[in-house]
Structure 1
Amino acid sequence: MPEQRYDANRQTIGTLLSTTSPRIEVPEWQRSYSWGSDEIEAFWHDLLGFEQAYPGNNIDSQEYFLGSAVLVTGGATNLLLDGQQRLATATILLSALRDARRQYKADAATRLQSKYISDHDDATGEAAPVITLNIYDRDFFRSEVQEERVGNEAGPKPRLKSHGLVRKARQYFAQKVADEESRAGGGEEGFKRNLRLSNVLCNHMSLVIVYSSDEDNAATVFETLNDRGIGLSTPDLLRNLLMRRAKGPEARQRVVAAWQTVLSIADETSVDEYLRHFWVSQRGDVKARKLYREIKSTITQEQIESVAFSAELEEAAPLYRDLAKARDDDEELKRLLEGIRMLGAKVTLPALLAGYSVTEQSGNKSDLRKLAGALTTLYVRHTVIGGRESTALESRIYSVAAELRKDREFGSAIAKLREFSPDAEEFTAKFSHASISRISTARYLLRELEHARRETQEVAVELSDRVHVEHIYPQNPIIPKWDNHAQLINRIGNLTLLGKRLNTSIKNGAFETKKVKAYADSDILLTRDLLEYEAWGPQSIECRQRNLASSVARIWSFPGESVSAMAGERARWQLGENYDQDLDELPEMPS
């Protein structure tokens, strides 16, 4: 038989917290406390619902299964590789029960504290918490939850998001415990209600605990339990792997420091998306669900050092955040990035990440501007207007990103993007009939069309809080709806831009006097051009959209691309030209 490297058994929350020796410690490389309102409320409602289903002594033989936990035994502490969110949350609830209990019977609160939360260590003369969280949370958690404050003593100041979540959970449970005691009648009955809740939590809510004396084996169990691809567990699994492979305490500290930078971008962009985009920008396409396994396999096979890999992640993380938030000192590049952000074209970020890496030393952003323009053109032609399948686009951009990082050839990268794109003629034809329901995408397209109308390129149509997308024939008209309302409402020809002041000053009608005056007062040429139309109807939308389409191949073009006469500037369409035939080509529903 193979050697048994782990075993498992069932334990209640109370047994685990009160009898595990030595104490439980969350490794420094594990993620911080992350449960928000949804998880905290679910935990409380699960406990309360289970308790109410078995009133009185009926609960004696019942258990509620909470899930699993993984512990590494045999060291100075028991390392908790999985289950920390549930155990930390249980401890927070116990602290709320303790504080409420002390108001009625202080010695009962002391017993709960010393058994499940924190006891006094006579050997050291210090408090010995039952569970210690990771390096970022341990001090705050100890002061906020595990130590009892005297009177109105102020609590610790939250300095991280996880600290705020701990405090929010504690405030939630304190209120819920108070409500339960009050409903029971307060006093002695409230105290009994408090005892009942702690009994349910400690003696009837259970976990399956997986024990192993081998950290690598326990980590494998952890990965098996938690590996769900690019989901929330991916950063934790990767950080776990890198910390385990780091050689010595100093290397581990360097990995921890690097990951502080990586995780710091979470307030502005997704760490999960960053990890995938960083990887594919170097290695090509990998599907989200396979990301961790792919990275682990490569790190293991190529013997990549944890510190070196973490340093690469640390260096690229702020750059990725700035790309996602459209930040750059170069104004033209910033504008291109802003367009990508408005389009929601995250698929382009790995190629941009590779491009920035290639130009890092030279500082020459000319090639970056060309690359960003080519990526935008491809995305608009292929996805926004062309409506083509997105998986193939991902694969092409990701392979281009990896090749660019290796061969450093921007010209080759742009050529590969162009050969995958619909040509200018097809793009122009599809634009003539396109509908756009996503507002930020419509705003971007109209912004670019407006800039193309102006030789100076000076127009403030960048920000959504200043410029709104206006449906000329409105979404909710006060006049009877047109028969083909759904087909026409989001046609590009029916959309324009208005400043916020003008947008709020007009009523929902169809080209009535107030709206015409608002258009005349607008600084936006696309909007003022509407004064050419005496009335507004389906034929006007068709005519205007064809006129707009005449310039799109020039706006969204690749470097060196020659635009044919058919796809380039054309004579303006007039009302009545091929109208019946064109109307038949309209889509049944907006795209």
Structure 2
Amino acid sequence: MAAVFDEFKTIAEFLQTTQKEKILIPEYQRPYAWGFDQIEALFSDLKDFTIDKIKDKTQETYFLGTIVYFVNDNGEKEIIDGQQRLTSIMLLLRAIYEKLSTSEITTPEGLNFINKIEPLLFIKNEMTGQVDKDDILIRSDVVSDSQNHTFHQILKTGKTQSGAKDNYSKNYESFSKLYDEFISQNSDPKAIYYFINNLLNYTTIIPIKAKTQDTALTIFNTLNDRGMPLSDADIFKGKIYKNLDDDKKVKFIQEWKILENETELANEKMQNLFYMYMFYLRAKADDKDTTTPKLRSYLLKKKPEFLRDDDLLENLRQILKILKFSKDLKDIDDEVWSENLQIKQVFSLLVLTNNEWWKYPSIIYYLTHKNSPNFENLYLKFLRKLFVSIFQRYSIEHAINSIKAPVLKLNVEITNNAEPKFDFKEILGDEENILKGKIIAPHVNLRYALVLFVAYEMANQTEILPERWELEHIFPQKWQNTYIEQTLGWTDAKLKELLWNIGNLTPLEKKLNIVASNGYFDKKKTEYAKSKVAITNGIDKNYNEWKPENIIERNGEIVKFVKEKFNQWAQ
């Protein structure tokens, strides 16, 4: 990994280097969030360390943590990890400097530390040795932090605005009060100077200098166990903001925050929206490569123009719309197609295929053709064909690689045609028998999807299935051996082969399934009759009893129906 892991550096040693390379808290970082608890803990640790050091006269140090950074094109130390601690240390140093420089009592120690701290806060003129208090050594450009200016002004002036409630102001004032308390609680007037000396010369960090931003982020995400690591979405937000004209920045932050909140409420992540967006851009660029590129590398290096795309946030909103709809199946305002029961049903089927690859073409189709005439019918036809294609190929091979290439080709086709060509491998010969077998005994990852498909299509289900439904085994999973062998004439082994067959499975509401439990057919029919699932509700009407022979019979009926319906949907 291209990084330099420095030896321990004291706070003074590290900050002295900022005379040549100022510190930047970049736009993609999260806002300054430390509160009084963290401020008090830091000051208390330093205070206890000082008291112990005065008593024992040891040369031990107080370790503050790591600082991960890289030097950007402007020659600044761009901080990736450690911004909360570093910002707090700068506020503490400024509070100490203010106390020392405005004190009525001048001591040699006080003058010494004023001179020591000045070049850690301000640019120092190499010729005169004087500092410029308007030229501070740290700058915060954090996009979503409206108090950046406040932070800068505190460092420049040593003052806060009356009644200020931001973290910078409150923490700065807290440091000042803690400083005064330390002096009042110690009979030794020089104790505070030991405290300052320990802060500057015995409080240490490990600076980790990376060669690039990518390397610095990799290191950070590896080391970070204190909270959420920076995501690619954070980086994109900062880059987009930086490229905007000043008159557009406020609106961008407002819209980003709204989208971020909506994304969180939908139990999604901004990162995922950008990931879906990458597949959309790849499709438009005729990119069918089955090797998925890294998100940040692709967008910033191959498609940097996306940073200035006026439609970006709108496209992300539309992507979120489809992702959210696929989960809750609720009507979308001003989107007539979203009221279509059949579209809702096929989305619920796609979700149950247990892979992400249906999402990319579904989203790309919507982004590309949502304003087309007859979109509702076109979308339904497309989604049905997509479900059948993925289900069949995934059933036969059960490998993501079997659907990757055709989906990527389909993505490109979608951008050119509202009725795109599907290039999934045709099912011929032995594969037809394999598929038949997979319909009879569906793979565990596709079992729910097939049972739901049968429920929707075979019984003409006129509504979405209840949210909490479970797979019901019509013939129970546990039985008495005497009943199986003597009454039914079957062996355990033979019956177990039928247990998970499609003919023995049906959807049932969870609360009804609990009551039905593991009973035999005669006892469970009452619960089936209460079900709002049409195919389950009809079982007690269509069958007087339920034996292994009924499972085999129903297997045949369902296989025939599914194959016919799949052929219709694939047209």
The TM-score bracket by the shorter chain reads 0.5 to 0.7
Q: What is the aligned partner in structure 2 of residue 373 from structure 1?
A: 384
SS in 1 for 2:535: helix
Q: What is the aligned partner in structure 1 of residue 312 from structure 2?
A: 313
Distance (whole Å) between structure 1 residues aligned to residue 246 and residue 370 of structure 2 = 32
Select 1:452's aligned residue among 454, 457, 462.
Answer: 457
1:177-204 Cα deviation digits (max 9, x unpaired)? xxxxxxxxxx99xx9xxx9xx9799824
Select 1:518's aligned residue among 521, 527, 539.
Answer: 527
User: Alpha carbons of 1:227 and 1:499: their partners in 2 closer, same or farther (altered >3 Å)?
Assistant: closer
Q: What is the aligned partner in structure 2 of residue 177 from structure 1?
A: none
Distance (whole Å) between structure 1 residues aligned to residue 497 and residue 139 of structure 2 = 60
CA RMSD in angstroms comes to 5.8
1:402-421 Cα deviation digits (max 9, x unpaired)? 2321xx223342x4347489
Whichever residue aligns with residue 308 of structure 2, its letter is V
Q: What is the aligned partner in structure 2 of residue 468 from structure 1?
A: 470
Name the count of aligned residue pairs: 465
User: Alpha carbons of 1:493 and 1:342: their partners in 2 closer, same or farther (altered >3 Å)?
Assistant: same
User: Alpha carbons of 1:549 and 1:74: their partners in 2 closer, same or farther (altered >3 Å)?
Assistant: closer
Contact 2:473–2:499 under 8 Å retained in 1 = yes
User: Alpha carbons of 1:61 and 1:16: their partners in 2 closer, same or farther (altered >3 Å)?
Assistant: closer
Distance (whole Å) between structure 2 residues aligned to residue 290 and residue 34 of structure 1 = 29
User: Alpha carbons of 1:120 and 1:395: their partners in 2 closer, same or farther (altered >3 Å)?
Assistant: same
Output aligned runs, 1:393-412, within 5 Å: 393-405=403-415, 408-412=416-420
In the TM superposition, what is the alpha-carbon distance from 1:325 to its structure 2 partner? 1.7
Q: Do structure 1's residue 139 and structure 2's residue 147 form an aligned pair? A: yes
Whichever residue aligns with residue 206 of structure 1, its letter is I
Output aligned runs, 1:53-72, within 5 Å: 60=60, 66=66, 68-72=68-72
In the TM superposition, what is the alpha-carbon distance from 1:518 to its structure 2 partner? 1.3
SS in 2 for 1:325: helix
Whichever residue aligns with residue 416 of structure 1, its letter is D
User: Alpha carbons of 1:237 and 1:542: their partners in 2 closer, same or farther (altered >3 Å)?
Assistant: farther
SS in 2 for 1:556: helix
Whichever residue aligns with residue 377 of structure 1, its letter is V
In the TM superposition, what is the alpha-carbon distance from 1:431 to its structure 2 partner? 0.3
SS in 1 for 2:419: helix
In the TM superposition, what is the alpha-carbon distance from 1:129 to its structure 2 partner? 11
5+ residue gaps, structure 1, are 1-5, 97-106, 158-166, 175-186, 211-216, 562-591
Whichever residue aligns with residue 306 of structure 1, its letter is L
Output aligned runs, 1:484-523, within 5 Å: 490-506=500-516, 508-511=517-520, 513-523=522-532
Output aligned runs, 1:73-472, within 5 Å: 78=76, 80-83=78-81, 86-88=82-84, 132=140, 134-139=142-147, 203-209=203-209, 219=213, 222=216, 233-239=231-237, 246=243, 263=260, 266-267=263-264, 268=266, 269-283=268-282, 284=287, 285=289, 287-299=291-303, 304=305, 306-308=307-309, 311-326=310-325, 329-330=336-337, 331=340, 332-365=342-375, 366-383=377-394, 385-405=395-415, 408-413=416-421, 415-417=422-424, 419=426, 427-436=435-444, 442-455=447-460, 457-461=461-465, 463-465=466-468, 467-472=469-474
In the TM superposition, what is the alpha-carbon distance from 1:134 to its structure 2 partner? 0.9
Distance (whole Å) between structure 1 residues aligned to residue 146 and residue 244 of structure 2 = 24
Distance (whole Å) between structure 1 residues aligned to residue 536 and residue 246 of structure 2 = 64
1:51-92 Cα deviation digits (max 9, x unpaired)? 9xxx998882696863622244968xx563522xx3326767
User: Alpha carbons of 1:265 and 1:523: their partners in 2 closer, same or farther (altered >3 Å)?
Assistant: closer
In the TM superposition, what is the alpha-carbon distance from 1:451 to its structure 2 partner? 2.5
Whichever residue aligns with residue 530 of structure 2, its letter is D
Deviating more after overlay: 271-280 vs 528-537: 528-537
Contact 1:382–1:421 under 8 Å retained in 2 = no
Whichever residue aligns with residue 323 of structure 2, its letter is A
User: Alpha carbons of 1:59 and 1:550: their partners in 2 closer, same or farther (altered >3 Å)?
Assistant: farther
Contact 1:227–1:233 under 8 Å retained in 2 = no
User: Alpha carbons of 1:91 and 1:67: their partners in 2 closer, same or farther (altered >3 Å)?
Assistant: closer
SS in 1 for 2:519: coil
Q: Do structure 1's residue 548 and structure 2's residue 558 form an aligned pair? A: yes
Distance (whole Å) between structure 2 residues aligned to residue 59 and residue 470 of structure 1 = 71
Q: Rg: which structure is higher?
A: 2
Whichever residue aligns with residue 442 of structure 2, its letter is A
Distance (whole Å) between structure 1 residues aligned to residue 234 and residue 217 of structure 2 = 10
Contact 1:442–1:469 under 8 Å retained in 2 = no
Distance (whole Å) between structure 2 residues aligned to residue 266 and residue 221 of structure 1 = 28
Distance (whole Å) between structure 1 residues aligned to residue 207 and residue 67 of structure 2 = 5
Contact 1:347–1:397 under 8 Å retained in 2 = yes
Whichever residue aligns with residue 80 of structure 1, its letter is E
User: Alpha carbons of 1:341 and 1:206: their partners in 2 closer, same or farther (altered >3 Å)?
Assistant: same
User: Alpha carbons of 1:259 and 1:272: their partners in 2 closer, same or farther (altered >3 Å)?
Assistant: same
In the TM superposition, what is the alpha-carbon distance from 1:361 to its structure 2 partner? 3.6
Distance (whole Å) between structure 2 residues aligned to residue 125 and residue 355 of structure 1 = 57
In the TM superposition, what is the alpha-carbon distance from 1:336 to its structure 2 partner? 2.7
User: Alpha carbons of 1:288 and 1:534: their partners in 2 closer, same or farther (altered >3 Å)?
Assistant: same
Contact 1:12–1:202 under 8 Å retained in 2 = no
Percent same amino acid among aligned pairs? 13
Select 1:527's aligned residue among 516, 521, 536.
Answer: 536
Contact 1:472–1:494 under 8 Å retained in 2 = yes
In the TM superposition, what is the alpha-carbon distance from 1:484 to its structure 2 partner? 7.8
In the TM superposition, what is the alpha-carbon distance from 1:277 to its structure 2 partner? 2.7
Whichever residue aligns with residue 83 of structure 2, its letter is L
Contact 1:26–1:133 under 8 Å retained in 2 = yes
